[in-house]
Each structure stands twice: as structure tokens, then as C-alpha cells.
Amino acid sequence: MVRTMETLLGLPPMNNNDALAPLMGPMFTGPGDQRPFAADYANRENGLIYTAMRRRRWERGSLRR
């Protein structure tokens, strides 16, 4: 990622790791016929994803009355 930023800004590589790293540009080029991302909402709808956040709020006292 650093190599790509350096190239976009016209800067020389900072070290050999940057100089030998491949550019990320080819990942963003091509025909653009990739299928769209399909989200999985199973955990959002069953409420399990929010239990840790609720527990933290309860322990801090912000959910107690």
C-alpha cells in the first residue's frame, strides 16, 4: 500500500521493501464484471452481534435505571 501511495505522489521508495513491493493498481483495473457483494444479515437480525455492547453498557451503569 505504501508503494502505491509513493507512486501516486511521485515520491521515491523509502526503502528496499517499498521498492520491491508490487503496485496495487492492477487490482482495481479490469472488465469490472465482478458480481456484487451479498451481505449476510443473520447475526444482525438475531441480535447476537449487539450483546457485547449491551453488556458493557450495563456494567458501566448506563442501562440501569
Quote the distance between the C-alpha of residue 24 and its chain's center.
15
Average confidence (pLDDT) over 44-53 = 66
Predicted TM-score (pTM) of the model is 0.43
Residue 15 has a pLDDT of 92
In tens, the pLDDT along 1-41 reads 888 888 889 999 999 998 999 888 777 777 878 788 888 77
Which of 61, 11, 64 is closest to 2 using CA atoms?
A: 11
Identify whether the C-beta of residue 63 lies closer than 8 Å to the C-beta of residue 50.
no
Report how far apart the first and last C-alpha atoms of the chain are (Å, whole number).
48
Between CA 6 and CA 17 the distance in angstroms is 12
The residue type found at 50 is Y
The residue type found at 8 is L
